[in-house]
Structure formats: structure tokens, C-alpha cells
Amino acid sequence: MTFGGTPAAGEFGACPNCGNESLRLAYTDEVFDHADDGAATVTVRATNVPVEVCDRCGKSFVTKETLRVRHESVCRSLGLLTPAEIKAIRERHRLSQAEFAEITGLGEASISRWERGRLLPNRGNNAYLRSLRQNPELVAQLRREFCESQRESSSRLGSQGSARFRSLPAAEVRRHQVRARSFNLIAV
């Protein structure tokens, strides 16, 4: 599927093997084994996997889209939420990855990797995510609890007089000290 003289939609401007500039997008069905943390091996059937094909040399190439579709098939075979499904839970509540991490207690780096398809959630996290997906009210509740705990900790800090000074950035503190010293010099 090429459009005029422009390269095929995708990552390759030209065939990495022969330099042919018109690669064709093709869809294939694949069956491959996925080793689940080295323990069990699952046979994954992936349908409509996009690849870019060079009709001149006959080679086909894997793109980011190929990897995305394969990863999604692995998730489905293992009964895990897909990256898009995980992202949808968070976006439904208009939360950033950092906010979603804070209110759920899940790791921000893990959330980012799950959403990019770099990491599969383990069974426990998958079950947790699934219940957050099925019960939007649960996310709202976690959010309320998080906000309450934030309010409590900030009012605790507020009651300690010196807390505000301790949180001054180091540079700011130094500036105050320098000003105090030079004032002393003038006074003397």
C-alpha cells in the first residue's frame, strides 16, 4: 500500500536491505511462544499483525506497530489488561501517571512501562487494575482518601513553626546568611 512516490506509511523510508523506496504494509497472522517470566511458555496467536514488506527483495520488516500488536496478543493470551486498557483507566479519571501512582500506590515507572508495552503487570497488579477498571467509584474513593491524607500531613507541618524554614531551598538559606553577615559588617 504505497501512495504515489512517498514512502509507505511507517518507520522505513526505504528497504534497509535493498534500498527500495516503496515498502508495502501487509498484515499477517502469527503463532509464537511467549515465555512468561521463564516459568510457563504460552503459545500466542496474533492476527492482523502489520509488517512492512519489500516486493523487490522479498524481505519483511518489523515496526513499532508490529511490536504493539504482538504485545497486545501476549496480554490477551495471558489474561492481562493491554497497555491501551490500562491507560484508559487512568484517562477516564483525568489523572496523570504521577497522580494515578500516588492515589493507587502503584509505581509510577511501572505504570509508564505497562502503558508503553515494555512490561507486563504481574497477576496481583493486574487484578488490582481490573477492579479499578470495573469500579470507577473505587478510584474516586482512593482519590478522596489520598487528598485527606495530604490535608492531614500539611496541617501537621503547619503546626510546627520551624517546618517552613526547613523546607527553604539551600540556595535561599545561603542568601539569607550572606545578607545577615554583610549587615553585621556594616553595623560594625
CB of 5 vs Zn ion, minimal distance in Å: 17
Question: Of the candidates 2, 20, 22, 110, which one interacts with Zn ion according to CB under 5 A?
Answer: 20
The answer to whether 64 touches 12, Cβ cutoff 8 Å, is no
CB of 140 vs Zn ion, minimal distance in Å: 54
Phi, psi (rounded to 5 degrees) for 181: -65, -45
CB of 53 vs Zn ion, minimal distance in Å: 9
User: Which DSSP symbol is given to 61?
Assistant: E
Of the pair 15, 44, the CB lying nearest Zn ion is at: 15
Distance CA 70, CA 57 (A): 25
Distance CA 42, CA 30 (A): 14
Interface with Zn ion includes 17 (CB under 5 A)?
Answer: yes
Interface with Zn ion includes 15 (CB under 5 A)?
Answer: yes
Question: Of the candidates 57, 140, 157, 163, which one interacts with Zn ion according to CB under 5 A?
Answer: 57
Of the pair 50, 77, the CB lying nearest Zn ion is at: 50
Specify the stretch interacting with Zn ion by CB under 5 A; choose among 54-62, 80-88, 144-152, 179-187. Answer: 54-62
Query: How many residues can be counted in the chain?
Result: 188
Distance CA 62, CA 119 (A): 19
Interface with Zn ion includes 18 (CB under 5 A)?
Answer: yes
- Total number of residues that touch Zn ion (CB under 5 A): 7
Distance CA 49, CA 75 (A): 15
Count CB atoms within 10 A of the CB of residue 75. 23
Interface with Zn ion includes 54 (CB under 5 A)?
Answer: yes
Specify the stretch interacting with Zn ion by CB under 5 A; choose among 8-16, 64-72, 109-117, 140-148. Answer: 8-16
Interface with Zn ion includes 173 (CB under 5 A)?
Answer: no
Across-strand partners of 32? Answer: 44
Of the pair 55, 148, the CB lying nearest Zn ion is at: 55
Pairing of strands 40-53, 24-36: antiparallel
Residues that bind Zn ion (CB under 5 A): 15, 17-18, 20, 54, 56-57
